[in-house]
Amino acid sequence: MTRSWATNAGARKAMMADLWKRAGEGGAPRITFVYEACGFGFRFHDELTAAGIESYVVAPSRLARSAKHRKGKTDEKDAQALLEVLRAYVLAGSALPAVWVPDVQTRDDRELVRRRLAIAEDQTKVKARVRWLLKRSGIEGSPTEGWTQAYWVWLQRLAGGGLPGGAAASLASHARHLEWLWQETERLDEQIEALSRGARYAGPVEALCRHKGVGLLTAMVYLTEMGDLSRFANRRQVGSFLGLVPCSYETGQGADRKGHITHQGPARVRKVLCQAIWSRVRWDEAERVAYERLVARNPKHKKIAVVARMRALAIRLWHDGLAAQKALAA
């Protein structure tokens, strides 16, 4: 029997009540529930757990799906597939591609750090819009390179009358937007710094920031996205979780092909790791030597060297962060 429920609070509560009613009628002492990770986050998991229902959140990327399924995807088919996966787990002990559910505090800390990263992305987008606006207006040169104070004064002068009316008004709007984004960045940085000084993060942040190229924001992104570092048993699990391991395609003895990295896991961590590596290559002699040695093996694919150094840095941060977290728990 298949039933559909809405996603609002009242419908979720009615669904859980209906599940317990059916369990009581069937004499079942246990209810096991599974759903795919989505934008709703883990709040539904909390509600199910509070209602006494065993809940699991699975990663959509880890569910095996054929090309035929992807061309005929429906909510009902997805629900049936999840039911089959759950049955195999409960009745036969098969593997369940469930994700780790972070505690409420970690989720709340993520909101702050992720908002800071989103603000930085918004700044990049607005700056790109400004450059294209100037090109459409026939202005492709500037008095200085980069977003220096002189460049900003020049933009303000264009917005004040150096461009036609509509373009000037649009540029002025972009300028106000950028000013707000810069102010918001400062406010969020202050809040993240205050959070990092708390008992939960002070030790791990200090341990991570000892590495060249790793600043406060990079450390906080790493710690909030990774969560409890003790859940990783070895460095292979760290690399796999971060999507920094190659894809593989094996079929019998005829093919064993490795491809690009999987790109699974938190993209935010990969982004800050990439930024940290380029900073280290620029300012750290040992890192530059290691990077150049990898590049020499494959000069046409320098990204391979960057990814390898990202993975190495992620593992070192895991070791140091785990030690700091254990010291905090002791």
DSSP β-bridge partners for residue 255: 251
pLDDT (mean) for 297-322: 94
**pLDDT tens sequence across 5-58:** 998 999 999 999 999 999 999 999 999 999 998 888 899 999 999 999 999 999
**pLDDT tens sequence across 222-279:** 999 999 999 999 999 999 999 999 887 777 666 666 778 888 889 999 999 999 999 9
Q: Token pair of 202, please?
A: 């002070």
Q: Determine phi and psi for 289, rounding to 5 degrees.
A: -65, -45
Q: Is the pLDDT of residue 320 over 80?
A: yes
pLDDT for the residue 256: 66
**pLDDT tens sequence across 210-224:** 999 999 999 999 999
Q: What percent of the chain has pLDDT over 90?
A: 72
pLDDT for the residue 252: 67
**pLDDT tens sequence across 288-302:** 999 999 999 988 889
pLDDT for the residue 10: 94
